[in-house]
Amino acid sequence: MFFGSGITTTEESVLMLLFASAHHLIPYMRQFDVPLFYRSPIIASVKQARRIMDPRKKDLSPSVLDFGPIRFKIGRHFGFCYGVENAIEIAYRALEEHPGKAADQRIFLLSEMIHNPHVNNDLQARGIRFLRTTTGEQLIPFDALHPDDLVIIPAFGATLEVQAELAARGIDTRTYDTTCPFVKKVWRRSEQLGRKDYTIVVHGKRYHEETQATFSHAKEASPVVVVRNLEEAHDLAAVIRGTADAASFYEHFADRYSHGFDPDRDLQRIGVVNQTTMLATETQAIADLLQQAMRDRYGEANLAAHFADTSDTLCYATHENQQATQALIADGADLAIVVGGYNSSNTSHLVELCEAVMPTYFIKGAEEMVSPTRIRHFDYPTQTLHETDDWLPAKRPVDVLINAGASCPDALLDDVICTLVGWFPDARSTEDALAPFAEVEAG
């Protein structure tokens, strides 16, 4: 059997229900027109076999690609999600529909479309220029834009303030808006809650582009506060319970609340949404903690009037990838390689899960694997590059867990696999390793 050990995972019932309902948000089986060079013969074969064997995506056990002296364990879910494929399709369509503008470099992206350097570098090579960095530094002044310029909104969305600035210059930001549908769903839910006098608590990284956009949209309808993690949620819960005062709130959440936020007034009714790339289980833990704080303050009988159920806003793709990663980890491996952009939030969380139990290397591509004895890899918490020697174990066979973020092209995983296999002269051929998957595809 070329699949893994048939691991089953359990989640809280609310998480199971929300992802079942999430699939009705969009035409999930839609096929996007993504450039062929982002596809891959190896990973594509594995994914297609799994789709045939498990069309309802219930089996989270990993696939095993056996080359003899080295074996790769591949997750059930990883790589381009719906939102990323949608964004890539729109961006390349803009280039195709306006070749003259691309040649004149009059097609712009507000910032990186997704957090993957290979995708962004290719778009730049084709004539697209970035107006801003991911941290908001202006690269090209908005005043330099003309009304007939094309501006593509990235998958993370844009703040209302930026949209207004572009509109004031006559720029159309709707035709090529690649904002992820699940991000927009968070915005809509926040607006609905705001109309019912709920305050929005955003689980996210305050200066990540998506959280900035969500903050901007949500504050139009309600007060907003951003919490980074469970530790900060405990600080917020103390204010809700009344064991910490307003001064404590302003100290702990400086620059993370909307203008005029009054904790005594604005923490009486709340709903929790998230930056879609955060750990879904952490978002749920934060929501549970704040719900309990409301229960402690107002009583079970009054809970519904103070805490809104927002579990349906969590991104199905982020959760599926994280579930599949947990199944990979449970199946065991000698080391993990996680491929993705170094500024990718969702990829960093996959790294976080893996490195808790095994040696893990976060790389942007196969070029970082210098040799069987040296690898360059990224440490997300410190934002620094490291080099590690003797990283590939000498044992045979060596089991390598392969994973990737939602913005990583499958082709990059093919490169990683081929590079590693090339270091084993006695390895089976790719055709032989893929034979079990090809048999499934052949029916």
The confidence score (pLDDT) of residue 311 equals 79
Q: Are residue 328 and residue 431 in the same domain, yes or no?
A: yes
- Residue 6, domain member (yes or no): no
Q: Are residue 321 and residue 411 in the same domain, yes or no?
A: yes
Q: Are residue 305 and residue 346 in the same domain, yes or no?
A: no
Q: Are residue 437 and residue 322 in the same domain, yes or no?
A: yes
Asked whether the beta carbons of 356 and 338 are under 8 A apart, the reply is no
What are the phi and psi torsion angles at 296 (to 5°)? -65, -35
Q: Are residue 136 and residue 244 in the same domain, yes or no?
A: no
Total domains, the chain:
3
- Residue 209, domain member (yes or no): yes
For residue 149, what are the CA distances in angstroms to 162, 167, 410?
Answer: 16, 12, 32
Q: Are residue 323 and residue 432 in the same domain, yes or no?
A: yes
Which one-letter DSSP state was computed for residue 199?
A: E
Please give the residue range of the domain that contains residue 238. Answer: 193-313
Q: Are residue 97 and residue 42 in the same domain, yes or no?
A: no
The confidence score (pLDDT) of residue 20 equals 39
pTM of the model: 0.85
Q: Are residue 92 and residue 74 in the same domain, yes or no?
A: no
Out of 313, 342, 375, pick the residue that ends a domain. Answer: 313
Find the Cα–Cα–Cα–Cα dihedral 203, 206, 212, 216, rounded to 10°.
70
The confidence score (pLDDT) of residue 6 equals 32
> Hey, which residues are catalytic here?
210
Out of 255, 285, 313, pick the residue that ends a domain. Answer: 313
- From first to last of its 443 residues, what are the pLDDT tens digits of the chain? 233 333 333 333 333 333 333 333 444 456 777 887 888 899 999 999 999 999 988 899 999 999 999 999 999 999 888 899 999 999 999 999 999 888 888 999 999 988 899 999 999 999 999 999 988 899 999 999 999 999 999 999 999 999 999 999 999 999 999 999 999 999 999 999 999 999 999 999 999 999 999 999 999 999 999 999 999 999 999 999 999 999 999 999 999 999 999 999 999 999 999 998 888 889 999 999 999 999 999 999 999 999 998 877 778 788 889 999 999 999 999 999 999 999 998 899 999 999 999 999 999 999 999 999 999 999 998 999 999 999 999 999 999 999 999 999 999 999 999 999 999 999 999 999 999 999 998 87
Angle at 238 between CA 233 and CA 244, to 5 degrees: 130
Angle, helices 160-168 vs 209-218, to 10°: value is: 90
